[in-house]
Amino acid sequence: MNSRLKAGEKMIHYLGTPILETDRLVLRKVELSDAQSVFDHWLCDDRVMDNLIKGAHKSVSETIERVKEIVSQYDSEEFCYWGIELKTSGELIGAIDLFQFDSLTENCEVGYSIGYYWGNKGYGTEALRAVIDFAFRHMNIHKISAAHNIDNPASGKIMRKNGMEQEGTIKHMIRNAKNHYKDCAVYGLLQEDYFKVMK
């Protein structure tokens, strides 16, 4: 894709959070005006947030603070966090981000949340596919990793549909808001393997 740079130079091409489009979705920056939707559609929902470390938000004011924190980081090209919007209705149904960038290996992680009422409709698969493609084609990411609680197999299905392979299980990888330890399945996908399948 590009020639190797000098030792010590960044080889990840940080591009911030550009708009990405799929057949049914627009992936875009989250705005302060989205806070109520973010709260209503997934952050207040235990069915979604039980799978995440911080747990469900109890009030929209908590979500407003979180959205402010997200918005304040968009000035950095190293910040990649998208809201997932339906083209048909304009509803914000979830979020997806790239994080834990490692400049020595050009590796990173991906995480996502989809509102309960929009689950099992292929939206998570579609959003993840767009972000993986962006990361490998435009950011020169070498490897993308992801993890899900083993009691949330639907998330693993999304990963596998995008070519990610399970590399193992880590016992008690996280402790959720209810103080329960959870085992996680860890997945990965190499840029070179992605390009073998997706030309």
**Radius of gyration of the chain from its Cα atoms, rounded to whole angstroms:** 17
Beta strands in the chain (DSSP E): 20-21, 25-28, 80-86, 92-102, 107-114, 143-149, 165-175, 181-190
**pLDDT tens, N- to C-terminus, the chain (199 residues):** 444 445 445 599 999 999 999 999 999 999 999 999 999 999 998 888 876 667 789 999 999 999 999 999 999 999 999 999 999 999 999 999 999 999 999 999 999 999 999 999 999 999 999 999 999 999 999 999 999 989 888 999 999 999 999 999 999 988 877 778 889 999 999 999 999 987 5
Tell me how far apart the alpha carbons of residues 171 and 113 are, in angstroms, rounded to a whole number. 22
> What pTM does this model have?
0.91
CB count within 10 Å of CB 5 equals 10
Q: 194 is written with which tokens?
A: 């992605």
CA distances from 199 to 88, 134, 137, 162, 166 (A): 29, 13, 10, 14, 22
Report all structural domains of the chain as residue ranges with CATH numbers, in order of start.
20-144 (3.40.630.30)
- Return the closest-CA partner of residue 111 out of 122, 90, 127: 127
